[in-house]
Each structure stands twice: as structure tokens, then as C-alpha cells.
Amino acid sequence: MRLSGVFRFAVILLTVGVTWHFARTYLLRSWRTNSFRNIADREIKQASTKPSKNKCGNAKPCSKDHFAFKIVSGAASVVGPSMCLDDKLIMSNIKNNIGRGINIAFINGTNGEVLKTGFFDMYAGDVAELLEFVKPVQVGYMAMIATYDDPATKLNDEARKYFTDMGSAYANKLNFRDNWVFLGVVGMQIKSPFEKHIKNDGETNKYDGWPEVLEMEGCVPRKRE
Ligand SMILES: *[C@@H]1O[C@H](CO)[C@@H](O)[C@H](O)[C@H]1NC(C)=O
């Protein structure tokens, strides 16, 4: 680009910048109408939903001896769940490895490597497939779980107990179309702090036949060998 071109560009940029700054200051100082406040609100909202620099887009960073994680449940029967660990998308619509029912990822808690992922249709599927999938996994593996649509119709006591043994307080109450996100450890036997659930309830549901989407993020300690 020629120097004069660069100069003209800089002038335009400056003019636009000054005008914008003026308009903004002027409007902020002198007009307090509702419509303007709405715009301001929208700006604040946009600023706060800007992708964060933290792993998985989380609000807070994690220390070195922790993994950052985010688990999002499905939305009604329309949008599938997603799971992120240390900025790595483990299960999602885009990865095409999620489905109706219970979505599970097993992870080596020392190095964060994914052992395997699976999804199990608990409306029309067979809980035996879920049990076959989870049973061989060694005690101590980390598990991330997210539900999509209906996670409970086919769930039996054995599967519920398996999740309870991972530290879930809710698995034994999980019902038709409830939403549930959970992070636990195989055979941990103590309650996990990483769990959220919401009941399918016609009175309070966000969508007609389904409750609100659940989102859970945080830092989980790495396992020491
Ligand atoms: C998990 O990863 C660590 C570190 O690479 C390894 O030593 C360990 O054997 C793995 N655990 C299992 C159960 O594979």
C-alpha cells in the first residue's frame, strides 16, 4: 500500500473512532431513554458472552494440577450435549459422537486421555449395552456424563447403582426427560461435587416437554499416580 493510502486509511479510522466516541459519550451522558438502555444492556451482554481465553471457554482459569471441564446437557430433543476437557472437545454434535439418552466419556484422570466415549438410548435402547460398556472400566477412571432427551425410561437399579458408586447423588432418582450433567470417578464411593440435575416438570419446564439445558464448568484435580 502506498504511503498516501496508508495515511488516508488512518484518517478515516480516526474520524470514525472520534465520531463513535463522541456519539457514545454524548448519548451516555444526555439520553437515558429506555431504548438506549436496552442497547447498553445488549452491549454489556455481548461483552460478557465473548469467548473467554480460559480453557473450554470457562469463566475461571484452572491451576496446573487441575483439568478445566465443561459439560452441557442436551436441549429438549433438538440440540445434543457437549463435553470439553482442557480445551479438547470430547463429545458433541460436531464430532458426531452423541445421541439420545446417556452420553458417557471415560478419561484417564492423570493425563486427560480419553479411554472411550459412548451414548446409550434409554428410551428405546437396551440398558444391557450401557452396562457392557461401563463394567470393564477400571476403578479410578474419571467419567463425564451428559443426558439428552430421555435418560431414564430403560435405566435399571444396576446402572443407577453404578453411577451412584461414581459419586452421583441423583442417579437413583433420574426420571423420564430429566436433565443431568455429572463428573465422577469410577468406584469413588464418595459424593462428587460436580453434578447438576433438573426435573422434567410440566409446570416449570422451559420447553413444553423438557426442562432447561444444564451447563456445568469448573476445575477437577488431576489424579496423582
Ligand atoms: C493413565 O495415564 C498414566 C500416565 O500416562 C499412566 O501411567 C496410567 O497407567 C494410565 N492409567 C490407566 C488406568 O491406564
Q: What is the pLDDT of residue 33?
A: 41
Q: What is the pLDDT of residue 211?
A: 80
Lateral strand order in the sheet of 66-72: 88-91, 82-85, 66-72, 215-221
Residue-wise pLDDT for 52-102, tens only, equals 689 999 999 999 999 999 999 988 777 899 999 999 999 999 999 999 999
Ligand 1 centroid to 167 CA: how many Å? 21
The structure's pTM equals 0.75
Has residue 212 got a pLDDT over 70?
yes
d(CA 117, CA 61): 26
- Type of residue at 23: A
List the domain boundaries for the chain: 52-221
For the chain, give the percent of residues with pLDDT over 70. 77
Scanning the chain, the segments in alpha helix (DSSP H) are: 3-30, 34-49, 127-134, 157-165
Give the number of other Cβ atoms within 10 Å of residue 180's Cβ: 25
**String of DSSP letters for 171-192:** GGG--TT-EEEEEEETT--S--
Of the residues 108, 113, 114, 185, which should be mutated to test ligand 1's pocket, given the most ligand atoms within 8 Å of the CB? 108
- List residues bridging with 69 in a β-sheet: 85, 218
Of the residues 106, 107, 110, which should be mutated to test ligand 1's pocket, given the most ligand atoms within 8 Å of the CB? 110
Residue-wise pLDDT for 18-45, tens only, equals 555 555 544 444 434 444 444 444 444 4
Between residues 116 and 152, the one the model is more confident about = 116
